Structure 1
Amino acid sequence: MANILVVDDELGIRDLLSEILNDEGHNVELAENAAQARAARGRIRPDLVLLDIWMPDTDGVTLLKEWSTTGLLTMPVIMMSGHATIETAVEATKIGAQSFLEKPITLQKLLKAVEAGLARTSAAAVRKPGMVAPMPVVELTVESAMTGGQSLPPAVELGPQPRQLFELDKPLRDARDEFEKSYFEFHLAKEGGSMTRVAEKTGLERTHLYRKLKQLGVDLSRGKRGSS
């Protein structure tokens, strides 16, 4: 679990990122401008910051530079924008940004960038006091400017799964509900109860997924208990 600060002037973006990160077990603080971000930075000492570039008062690159020059850039910062140029991404990376996410942000890229940023935070925590954490060496190509030079994690082979037997001598609706319940319970257990990841795996919108699980009587706590 980590403390993550999300800075974005768009309410929809803040709400979406907050929902996803909360679902992943993180504590999320929201700020809609640089002034609120400065206050939150001093109040909660975030482990990671997601920082929008284009904001009405002070833009994200300027705020990043401010934190860097005043010694406050002690946490990884992931920049976000839907309109920034490659030059802006490269500039932010040179100042000290961990990586750059281009809007609209996909779930996979968000979780990958957050995981990489928090891994850097964990590595810095075990260093001796007074040691300066080296900045990651990133080749400043278009791809590295947009992703922080992170590669996709390899696919995990799960191996053969146990077969589930269903009673077929029953009405189609009942048989279908029985199958769907087992299907969603399998994915909930596999993803540790993460509704975000189950929604991604099954191709359903989160609201539709919640309604479906409630209709089928699926115990939403099973996956989380099994992962603890």
Structure 2
Amino acid sequence: MFELDREVRNWREGLERTSSLSIRELDELEDHLRARVGLELELNRVLAPVEAFAMARETLGAPSAISREFAKSGRPRWRRFLLAGWVMYAASLFLPLVQTEWMGTARPELAMSATGYEFLWSMSMISGGFLAVLVLNLPMLLTVSALWHARLWQWRWLGRISGAVGILALGNGLSNLFSPPPILNGIGGDVLALEYPGAGYWLWSAAYVLVALALWFRSNQGIPDRPEKQPV
């Protein structure tokens, strides 16, 4: 026996698996589908519910087409944050990630710094350092999937991981800003220099937070205007 609620639920679950729609977009479409079914039944009193549901579903279109239309409408609401995060991430690779200040000297030319690219490259050469570099930077690379048909669950865990990386990195940077780790003399144990997070570090951390915000916005807020109601 045909049950509208069950069929709508199955349709929604299938749409969530095969499209890049957010929760609120799915809510929009479900409301629109139910309204369309009611309209078909009202216009044609002899129409069976199963036929009205099939006609309403056909009117909405295939999942891929629906996803493309919603993505076009919601693009300015989240892509700008994602693109800004990527730009900040790329810029951080060419800015000082670590700033070293030597103790007992006022000569700024003796200060040393390493750009993000140099730091990551040197870390990847250390035993076990490559894995750390990969773990810290892989979430940012995976966010590229948000530009096409990444599934909703992918946005969720990518956003959570990106946000966690960014927040932890910012917290670590603040800690090092007020209590910078020292570079010690291997013989006497004297402090030779202090290491501070550079501009690249702050930009790298903020990029993750911004990307996490973009993914959250895409999953929860990035919806277009409500579909126009069909004329009765």
The answer to whether TM tops 0.5 is no
**Structure showing the higher helix proportion among its residues:** 2
Q: Which protein shows a greater Rg?
A: 2
Q: Which has the higher contact order (CA 8 A, sep 6+)?
A: 2
